[in-house]
Chain A
Amino acid sequence: MDLLRFITAGSVDDGKSTLIGRLLYDTKNILADQMEAIERASKTRNAGEIDLALLTDGLRSEREQGITIDVAYKYFQTPNRKFISIDAPGHIQYTRNMVTGASNADLAIILVDARHGVVEQTRRHSLIASMLGIPHVIVAINKMDLVGNSEDAFLEIAKSYTELAEKLSIKDLTIIPVSALNGDNIVERSQSMSWYTGETLLSVLEKVNVLKDQNLEDGRFAVQYVIRPQTDDLHDYRGYAGRVQSGSFKKGELIKVLPSERESKIAKIEFGGNEIEEASVLESVTILLEDDIDISRGDTIVSVNNSPIVSQDIEALVCWMDDKKTLKPGNKYILQHGTARSRCSVRDIEYQIDINSYEKLDEVESLKLNDVARIVLRTAQPIAYDPYQQNRANGAAILIDETSNVTVGACMIE
């Protein structure tokens, strides 16, 4: 059994929390005491019926305002798969939270209110999903009961969404008519929409193949830590601890260390102190080399005939996340890419992208919270990267403010 991480995008008005509550409820993942707590809370707020949305509201300030401020995680499972549901708020002022949630998602569920069809928010959520390289998108057209469960209404929205998706790079798209409130086509097939012959939401979540989404070609391994026990029996032991970001590595394979370009051969791969033959994508292992070369945290080990780009000049899409300061050309930050950190300066804002209309805006002087733009950076040390859309793990970076230490930008290197 494997793990699927998915993000749900939409606002409270679209019934997002109700949809997640419904998934948990119908898959019997709500426990008795949690259910009682919700019943109690539903009564105190005069909501009448049991409000499944209350399951996902975490912090007191959120419950008071009836909104989701932050990214929340829920865990549930079916006999076929384990799920991590990432719940991020949908309003434009929370774009940074959605970007944060989307960065680790294998799949996105984008909610559309059947009464309103594709709206500005749908366009924004779809752009973020596509920009963050989420391989699978499910568009759940919700509240079908409020449009008479009409097939025509569904087809019309599906058609306009498909047109929208053509402008983006969404690899795998599924559109499903649902009613989260009534549980139609979430876990159980709808009795009121017999015209729909496709899969239910849960069935798609259970079947999506996420192994295929991983980059299995390009061997990349960012060194996190050097293990040197320096005991009598392990006097010369020098192991490079890290996680295979993409591709795989085998014992005996020729490798190259970046940015130094030094070459060597893998003498041994270990996991938990035991030797293994091969390490694949996402595995946390320790690599030992035949030659005693100088390697430290921040260096990248790559397959010898398959190099990433090594450069001090980087172009990236950035989502700006600081609510206090703006990004301007000339500003300096710390760029964290893999395990490497380098100072960098902003050379240029090439253009900003209006995340609702997808229009490019030229001659932008600065970026404020939630703005998305293409920028040019110059780093102090060379960075060994792959373009984000080919390799999410080695194409992502964050910007850190040097004085406040806060994470202020999410970069997808192009």
Chain B
Amino acid sequence: MSISVKEASEINREISERRAPDYLDQLEAEAIYIMREVAGQFERPALLFSGGKDSITLVRLAQKAFAPGKIPFPLVHIDTGHNFIEAIEYRDALAEKTNAKLIVRYVEDTIKAKGLKEQTGKNASRNWLQTFTLLDTIEEFEFDACIGGARRDEEKARAKERIFSFRDEFGQWDPKRQRPELWNLFNGRIQKGENVRVFPISNWTELDVWAYLKREKIDLPSIYFAHQRELILRDGKLLNNTPVIEKDPEDQIVTRQVRFRTVGDMTCTAAVESSAATLDEVIAEITISRISERGETRIDDQQTEAAMEDRKKGGYF
């Protein structure tokens, strides 16, 4: 398709007059595109909602992708019973505000129904047991795609996972047999019983998520901002003082001003000492932080060098 000299010079002028696109706009457009691919390619998708900032971001992106219609898939929460109360309250309010369908399934119920054995001891967590409830929920509702808020900058195994991540009928991820993912052509074809995990904010960093929350003026659960809290000081990490964490003689109970940088289960999410009370202050702290998000706050990833890789192979998010 040839263009005349005149047209070419006009186009060049147009280019120089246009401002360079902002990275947040670029990331947002990509994520909305992915959301719409899910709606277009699958019959029964779901959005896995945890109450954390990444899934809060997903909900905003889904709203934008399908406006003025409502989000065409339910929000699904796998409730471990170990969640922060602030995250649960936020979840319910958000579902009401967005008029989205909310499905909650409880790990507690799976434990009882299947006689699953829970971890015991001071570092016991229901993190791994979530997988059972998740797979049951996928089966119950016949979900063929589950949208999640995982990011590639979080962790080494996630850095290698596709945006459309194929899972077999047992929910398992096989890193060696991933489908090539070319251009923006996502292949969501599956057999009945299989499903695809979709990660629209794969290419976002932690800081991008915070910057987006700020730009979109999104309210967050209060635990993301500095507040006084009673905590368990264990191995240098500050955990919420709650009955679901078994105490150890060496634990100290302290009161500190903290915020949570990530919000997962109380058993495996540590707080950081902070006085950041606003989004701007949080962003400023993270920008100069010399420790990664999961390194600072996640206890579940630090057990072995390949902890996340192993959990994903077993059907984890």
Contacts and interface: CB of A to CB of B under 8 A. Distances in A.
Interface of A: 1-3, 31-34, 37, 41, 57-61, 63, 69-75, 82, 84, 96-97, 99-100, 103-104, 211-212, 216-218, 224-225, 227-229, 234, 237, 239, 241-243, 270-273, 280, 282-284, 286, 297, 306, 321, 334, 336-339, 386, 390, 392-393, 396-398, 400, 405-407, 410
Given A59-B156, A72-B159, A271-B64, 10 more contacts: A34-B295, A58-B159, A58-B309, A59-B157, A70-B178, A243-B32, A282-B26, A396-B185, A397-B185, A407-B187
B298 to A, nearest CB: 11
B205 A75 contact: yes
A97 B295 CA distance: 29
A229 B70 contact: yes
Nearest to A210: B20
B58 to A, nearest CB: 15
Contacts of A397: 185
A82 B23 contact: yes
Interface stretch (B33-41, B123-131, B230-238, B242-250): B33-41
Given A33-B295, A58-B160, A211-B15, A100 B182 contact: yes
A100 B29 contact: no
Contact of A229 (B69, B176, B296): B69
Contacts of B190: 405
B33 A225 contact: no
B104 to A, nearest CB: 26
Most-contacted residue by chain A among B156, B290, B292 (CB, 10 A): B156
A75 B191 contact: no
Nearest to B31: A284
B18 interface: yes
B203 A407 contact: no
Contacts of B1: 217-218, 306, 386, 390
A198 to B, nearest CB: 24
A3 B296 CA distance: 27
Contact of A211 (B21, B69, B183): B21
Given A71-B160, A284-B65, A31 B290 contact: yes
B11 A104 contact: no
Contact of B20 (A211, A334, A406): A211
A22 to B, nearest CB: 18
B179 A229 contact: no
A84 B203 contact: yes
Interface residues of B, number: 63
| Interface of A: prevailing SS | mixed
A284 B32 contact: yes
B306 interface: yes
Contact of B296 (A33, A58, A59, A100): A33
A407 B156 contact: no
A63 B309 CA distance: 12
B33 A234 contact: no
Contacts of B14: 216
B7 to A, nearest CB: 8
A224 B182 contact: no
Contact of B160 (A33, A59, A234, A272): A59
B180 interface: yes
16 contacts: A1-B22, A33-B296, A70-B175, A75-B152, A100-B182, A211-B20, A224-B39, A241-B66, A270-B68, A273-B67, A282-B21, A284-B29, A336-B187, A400-B187, A405-B190, A407-B179
Contact of A31 (B67, B152, B175, B291): B291
B178 to A, nearest CB: 7
A243 B292 contact: no
Contacts of B156: 57-59
B303 interface: no
A217 B180 CA distance: 30
